[in-house]
A and B are shown apart, each in its own frame.
Chain A
Amino acid sequence: MAGYKHLETLRELVTLHGGPGFEHQVRDRIRTAFSEYTTDLRVDTLGNLIGVVAGEGEGPRPRILLSAHMDEIALVVSRIEAGGFLRVVQTGGFDPRTLVGQEVYVHTKEGRYLGIVGSKPPHLTAPEERTKAAPLEELFIDIARPESSVRKLVQIGDRVTLARDVYSLQNDRLAGKSLDNRTSVAIILETLEVLKKLRHTADVYVVASVQEEIGVRGAATVGYGVNPDIAIAIDVTFGDFPGQAADEGFELDGGPAISYGPNLHMKVFRHLTAIADREGIPYQVELSQGPVGADARAFQIARAGIATALVGIPLRYMHTSVETGAYRDIVACGRLLAQYIADVDAATVEDLSCY
């Protein structure tokens, strides 16, 4: 897997830890990555990282926002039980069945401690119990220390994230945790890399947003604060897998999925697909019938409304520690967005309000 500009950045990003409201470590790394392309960087009240890459020419210039949420699904310590076992609640949607036997990190004031999500050995499990999946409330985390030591180290409210190395699979595919949505951060970086060589009049606001996994909260305030002409959310979608409906799974290596539906501006959608066709970039169309589960949901209705798009790569095993995606899709999506940005001018923006 050589020759990809930001592959190593992504491999690093998916081993960093950042749940909703706990994104600082990831944000610091992204800030370093963004600073290769702009020095105009700021962090808003909620913690969204906002970088501006200025366009050419006299203003007013079109303003395009690209957002990739940087938070990952995480857990929060809610109780410390007798014996020093930790109970947790979730920030973001886990399938508790995927947590059993999982290694995790507990992030405390004193540092980070490895823990295991405990499971009952089969020897002690009655046959009827084996057919039942335990809910999150029944799971516990064991950091293998005596209760007195746990109570000294761990405080209620401490965050817990998945511990998982990143794996290189065949065909430039990566597997690991938090590819949802750090792959989209890599898309922003690949976009900026292509954009360096292109001329564009639009000011580009690159945003690593916070708290998407608990209800697109960062997007609500960054949409209001930046109030761009066009907001493009970049987020992963479902990779094709047996048992999924035809319109709910997308091929890995099939190019980015471009979303279509009420939440997405029809003209931006058509413009994106036209650019992809022109540039020979493969893409797939994802249909939606209501507000989407991504930053675009909040962007569209910020202030008096924003023209919104949603693109992203397909990912298998979403919201597990082995999320799997293809770097080739990231590169294709970066090319698409850069070429799109270069094609937007003042007339494009004016046309968005003409129905």
Chain B
Amino acid sequence: MKDLITRLAQEIAPSGSERALMLQWMQELKAVADETLVDTLGNGIATKRGEGPHIMLAAHADEPGVMVIDIDADGFLRVIAMGSLEPAELVSRQVEFTNGVRGVIGLEDGVKLADASLNHLYVDIGANSREDAEKRIQIGLGGVVVQPLYELAGNRLAGRALDNRVGCAIAIAAFRELAAACRHVTLALTAQNAVGGRGARTAAYQINPDLALIIDAAPASDVPSGKATALSLGKGPAIKIMDGTAIVPLAVKDHLIAAAGTLGMDVQYEVWPGGKSDAGAVQLSVDGINIGGVSYPARYVGATQTVVDLADVENALKLVLEAAKTYEVR
């Protein structure tokens, strides 16, 4: 699992720039899937037809990032945030664009960081004129704030894009196992979550499963003054009760709790009104889709790097598998 996460987390795929990563993964999953496609919005969708109810495993593949929106006469770039990135997260950091070009984010002279908006930031890619910059950069190009991936003590990982490549890893691993077990399952690595669940909406419309399990990060608040949720790292995966986009049907929530009980696994409960998962976009597709959520606790969700506990991740995978295998359409 760690290798899979590491591999996924190294890819750069800010919202709207997921296609290359999806093409690569759908190619790889061709061996185990009946059908794969990368759809209009950039979702990677792999389906295996088999026994049992049709289960959709949804994990967003995008990460918050920046997009070049202007190049000035001196070759400095202006960027906007794709998803929520605060200026304080960006200043003096390096940005890497999807074409490999790097730059440093600067703050206009005389502006206090506390008062800064994205309008006050610029990116220096070492160009000395607009023409020079245009050789390497185009308006609309996406990028991310560089943060290396590290292993911390205690079986924990820290780095960029763990939210939600960890979820992608869980979903891919679960898909492989369910496909091998001849279950009817569809993997949806969704695009454009950070800008409002756009990919999940069109993916769910095409897939229309009996049950969709949304796999995403939820903020662990076991940090100084942590308040966003009641979740801790290392205390098990979180069963989603509600987030800002959806309330999980009681029957699905109870099914997940029962699955955890069967496994004798400790779980936590996610109540996160600020959360912007794909759950709502999937739930409200067509005439309504049954959803559930399995989240892995992650510290610093929303920042440019997060910390996860690999034991939680392993258990989240087990919980997803158990819940998927035992689900029955009522």
Contacts and interface: CB of A to CB of B under 8 A. Distances in A.
A–B contact via C-beta, under 8 angstroms: yes
Interface of A: 20-22, 24, 44-48, 76-80, 89-91, 137, 155-157, 211, 214, 217, 220-222, 224-225
A353 B289 CA distance: 30
B250 A22 contact: yes
A45 B284 CA distance: 10
Interface string B268-288: 110101000000100110111
Contact of A77 (B227, B271, B283, B288): B271
A20 B244 CA distance: 13
B269 A221 contact: no
B85 interface: no
Contacts of B280: 217
Contacts of A48: 288
Contacts of B284: 217, 220-221
Interface residues of B, number: 23
Interface of B: 227, 229-230, 241-242, 246-250, 253, 268-269, 271, 273, 280, 283-284, 286-290
A225 B287 contact: yes
B289 A211 contact: no
Given A22-B250, A214-B247, A157 B286 contact: no
B286 A156 contact: no
Contacts of B283: 46, 217
Contacts of B290: 45
Given A45-B287, A45-B290, A91 B271 contact: no
8 nearest interchain CB pairs?
A: A21-B247, A225-B287, A157-B241, A45-B288, A221-B288, A156-B269, A46-B288, A78-B271
A89 B248 contact: no
A224 B242 CA distance: 23
Contact of B271 (A46, A157, A214, A225): A157
Contacts of A217: 246, 280, 283-284
Contacts of A24: 250
21 contacts: A21-B247, A21-B248, A24-B250, A45-B287, A45-B289, A46-B249, A76-B241, A76-B242, A78-B271, A79-B230, A91-B247, A156-B241, A156-B268, A157-B269, A157-B271, A217-B246, A221-B284, A222-B288, A224-B288, A225-B287, A225-B288
B229 A78 contact: yes
Given A21-B242, A91-B247, 5 more contacts: A22-B250, A156-B241, A156-B269, A214-B247, A221-B284
A89 B288 contact: no
A47 B291 CA distance: 13
Given A21-B250, A76-B271, A157 B289 contact: no
A75 to B, nearest CB: 10
A20 B288 contact: no
Nearest to A226: B287
Given A76-B241, A78-B230, A221 B247 contact: no
B319 to A, nearest CB: 16
B241 A221 contact: no
Contacts of A155: 269
A174 to B, nearest CB: 28
B112 to A, nearest CB: 27
Contacts of A45: 287-290
A137 B274 CA distance: 13
Contacts of A225: 286-288
A44 B287 CA distance: 8
Contact of B287 (A20, A47, A157, A221): A221
Contacts of A78: 229-230, 271, 273
A49 to B, nearest CB: 13
A22 B251 CA distance: 11
Contacts of A214: 247
A156 B230 contact: yes
Contacts of A222: 287-288
Nearest to A77: B271
Contacts of B288: 44-46, 48, 221-222, 224-225
A103 to B, nearest CB: 22
A278 B269 CA distance: 56
A89 B271 contact: yes
A137 B271 CA distance: 14
Contacts of A156: 230, 241, 268-269, 271
A21 B241 CA distance: 10
Contact of A221 (B229, B271, B286): B286
A155 B230 CA distance: 11
A220 B284 CA distance: 7
A20 B250 CA distance: 11
**Counting chain A CB atoms within 10 Å of each CB, which of B230, B288, B290 scores highest?**
B288
A217 B249 CA distance: 13
Nearest to B241: A157
A221 B269 CA distance: 26
Given A47-B249, A79-B230, A214-B247, A91 B242 contact: yes
A156 B229 CA distance: 10
**Counting chain B CB atoms within 10 Å of each CB, which of A90, A137, A211 scores highest?**
A211
A77 B269 CA distance: 10
Contacts of A77: 271
A225 B286 CA distance: 7
B295 to A, nearest CB: 13
Contacts of B246: 217
B247 A211 contact: yes
Nearest to B239: A157
Contacts of B247: 20-22, 91, 211, 214
Nearest to A78: B271
A18 B246 CA distance: 16
A87 to B, nearest CB: 8
A224 B269 contact: no
